[in-house]
């Protein structure tokens, strides 16, 4: 029952609004105009989108995309923000670069900055071996205590970090514990005696077969050169203090015997070619102030 001739404009008598001219069972469709505010927004967004396409990177091409009038990119934005951050930190970084280790530790502002930089670099480079807080693990030195294999002064630590330990770097720290058992320097009974002697140095229990005088003699002849006659270790050779209840490996007899049989000497890499001087300095300060710097 479309009753209409499309050329005649029909107006709904109730609302006064024009109809579309369609009618179903007496129901007419009103041709209500779109609200003005809605149309304004629609046209504004169209104008905006056209502008946007010209100004910003927008249309994907085969191997690239339209670059926009100013060549802006989100990646470029990140780069410039990073540069701004660098510029902000620049004075601190160059102050750090120019200061000696002693200067840094005397200046609270520089010290805080160095520790923060050092902590970040430690997480990235050192934590896999030394643990997140420098606590270490079996064979990987604990950096929190005041027991140092290679010296705990800031300069010693810097040297260790820069050139490593058994790292193959010509300036690296050298010296390993010989494989007394494997190389036939000591018989297994002697290894057992001297292992017990080592345990006795820090008051640990020894086996019934232990003969202190025999153990002490083996120690003096084979071990004192590196560990010292008193067993207190030597930072020149990296030989640990055996009297202090702090163990690089472990205090149980089996572990000590294993070390004496096969030798010991874990590798710490050199960082001088991988990290810049300022980062190594920041790491030194961080490690030195971790717990027990000397
Ligand atoms: C691949 C493992 C590894 C990584 C990575 C590593 N270290 Fe070490 N580090 C060691 C080992 C193993 C030792 C102990 C060497 C030894 O037994 O003489 C050590 C020893 C040290 C020592 C000497 C401790 C002492 O008692 O004298 C310092 C300081 C140190 N590391 C700092 C660092 C810093 C800082 C980093 C990061 C830049 C780092 N290490 C990364 C393995 C590592
Ligand atoms: C050439 C020097 C040298 C000689 C000689 C030597 N040591 Fe060592 N010793 C070391 C070094 C270096 C280490 C640490 C190795 C490492 O980084 O793991 C070590 C580690 C040890 C450890 C492990 C300590 C710990 O904290 O876990 C024990 C125990 C030990 N030595 C006992 C002996 C005994 C006993 C002898 C004599 C039979 C001996 N050493 C002879 C250099 C030496």
pLDDT digits (tens, 9 = 90+) for 189-225: 999 999 999 999 999 999 989 999 999 999 999 999 9
Cα(177)–Cα(72) distance, integer angstroms:
60
pLDDT at 70 (0 to 100): 85
Question: Which residues lie closer than 8 Å to 261 by C-beta, 6 or more apart?
Answer: 179, 180, 181, 182, 188, 191
Find, among 108, 94, 168, 121, the residue nearest to 284 by Cα: 121
In short, whether 175's Cβ falls inside 6 Å of ligand 2 is yes
Least confident of 80-89, 259-268, 281-290: 80-89
Pocket test for ligand 1, best of 125, 129, 276, 288 (most atoms within 8 A of CB): 129
pLDDT at 8 (0 to 100): 66
**179 pLDDT higher than 80:** yes
Measured by CA distance, the residue closest to atom 36 of ligand 2 is 223
Supply the mean pLDDT for the chain: 91
Q: Give the ligand at the shortest distance from the Cα of 150.
A: 1
pLDDT at 86 (0 to 100): 83
- Residues 149-164 have a mean pLDDT of 95
Of the pLDDT bands very low, low, confident and very high (cuts 50, 70, 90), residue 100 is very high
Least confident of 28-37, 152-161, 208-217, 234-243: 28-37
Neighbours of 96 (CB within 10 A): 23
**Distance in angstroms between the alpha carbons of the first and the last residue of the chain:** 102
Neighbours of 46 (CB within 10 A): 10
Of the pLDDT bands very low, low, confident and very high (cuts 50, 70, 90), residue 1 is very low
pLDDT at 67 (0 to 100): 86
Measured by CA distance, the residue closest to atom 14 of ligand 2 is 239
Atom index in ligand 1 nearest the CA of residue 148 equals 26
Atom index in ligand 1 nearest the CA of residue 235 equals 27
Cα(185)–Cα(88) distance, integer angstroms:
60
Cα(249)–Cα(140) distance, integer angstroms:
8
pLDDT at 2 (0 to 100): 47
Atom index in ligand 2 nearest the CA of residue 185 equals 38
Q: Give the ligand at the shortest distance from the Cα of 215.
A: 2
Question: Which residues lie closer than 8 Å to 92 by C-beta, 6 or more apart?
Answer: 110, 113
In short, whether 259's Cβ falls inside 6 Å of ligand 2 is yes
pLDDT at 7 (0 to 100): 61
Percent of the chain with pLDDT over 90: 69
Interval between CA 289 and ligand 2 midpoint (Å)? 27
Cα(21)–Cα(19) distance, integer angstroms:
5
- Sign of torsion over alpha carbons 250, 251, 254, 260: positive
Of the pLDDT bands very low, low, confident and very high (cuts 50, 70, 90), residue 93 is confident
Cα(242)–Cα(196) distance, integer angstroms:
12
Find, among 10, 287, 290, 291, the residue nearest to 159 by Cα: 287
**291 pLDDT higher than 80:** no
pLDDT at 88 (0 to 100): 81
């Amino acid at each position: 029952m479309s009753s209409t001739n499309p050329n005649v404009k029909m107006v709904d008598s109730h609302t006064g609004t024009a109809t579309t001219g369609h009618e179903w069972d007496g129901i007419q469709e009103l041709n209500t105009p779109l609200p003005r505010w809605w149309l304004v927004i629609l046209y504004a967004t169209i104008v905006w989108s056209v502008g946007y396409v010209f100004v910003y990177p927008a249309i994907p091409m085969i191997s690239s995309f339209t670059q926009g009038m100013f060549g802006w990119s989100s990646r470029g934005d990140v780069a410039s923000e990073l540069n701004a951050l660098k510029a902000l930190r620049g004075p601190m970084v160059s102050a750090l670069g120019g200061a000696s280790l002693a200067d840094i530790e005397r200046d609270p502002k520089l010290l805080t900055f160095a520790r923060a930089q050092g902590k970040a670099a430690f997480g990235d480079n050192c934590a896999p071996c030394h643990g997140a807080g420098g606590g270490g693990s079996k064979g990987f030195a604990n950096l929190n205590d005041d027991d140092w294999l290679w010296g705990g002064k800031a300069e010693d630590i810097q040297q260790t970090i820069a050139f490593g330990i058994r790292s193959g770097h010509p300036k690296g720290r050298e010296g390993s514990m010989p494989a007394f058992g494997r190389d036939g320097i000591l018989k297994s009974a002697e290894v057992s005696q001297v292992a017990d002697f080592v345990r006795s140095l820090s008051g640990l229990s020894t086996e019934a077969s232990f003969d202190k005088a025999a153990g002490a003699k083996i120690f003096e002849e084979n071990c004192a050169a590196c560990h010292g006659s008193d067993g207190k270790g030597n930072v020149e050779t990296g030989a640990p203090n055996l009297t202090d209840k702090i163990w690089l490996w472990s205090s149980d007899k089996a572990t000590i015997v294993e070390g004496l049989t096969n030798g010991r000497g874990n590798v710490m890499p050199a960082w001088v070619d991988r990290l810049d001087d300022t980062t190594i300095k920041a790491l030194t300060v961080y490690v030195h102030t971790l717990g027990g710097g000397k």
